[in-house]
């Protein structure tokens, strides 16, 4: 994955920042497990696991915190 897909953390709005936070989380999974077939199989497991879903939300929240700071909290 040599493409540049993250040129900046700067976003116009908090909503765009949150969407970027989700993309960061998804791309982290994609880099960690490059096989789409394996990711599809695993999604069936974690999609029904409350603890896994909460952990995913925590990753998004951490990413959003980083993006918000990079954007000066949209002041």
* pLDDT for res 6: 96
Per the prediction, the chain carries an average pLDDT of 95
User: What average pLDDT does this structure show over 19-45?
Assistant: 96
**Three-class SS of 7-70:** CCCCCCCHHHHHHHHHHHHHHHHHHHCCCHHHHHHHHHHHCCCHHHHHHHHHHHHHHHHHHHHH
pLDDT digits (tens, 9 = 90+) for 46-64: 999 999 999 999 999 999 9
25 falls within a domain: yes
For 30, the domain range is: 14-74
Does residue 70 carry a pLDDT above 70?
yes
- 67 found inside a domain: yes
Residue 8, in any domain of the structure:
no
Count the domains in the chain.
1
pLDDT confidence of residue 1: 54
Nearest-CA neighbor of 57 among 49, 38, 75?
49
Q: With pLDDT > 90 as the criterion, what percentage of the chain qualifies?
A: 93
């Amino acid at each position: 994955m040599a493409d540049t897909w993250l040129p900046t953390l700067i976003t116009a709005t908090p909503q765009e920042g949150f969407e970027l936070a989700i993309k960061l989380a998804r791309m982290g999974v994609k880099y960690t497990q490059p096989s789409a077939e394996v990711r599809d199989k695993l999604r069936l497991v974690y999609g029904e696991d409350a603890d896994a879903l909460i952990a995913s939300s925590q990753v998004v929240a951490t990413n959003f915190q980083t993006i918000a700071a990079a954007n000066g909290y949209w002041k």
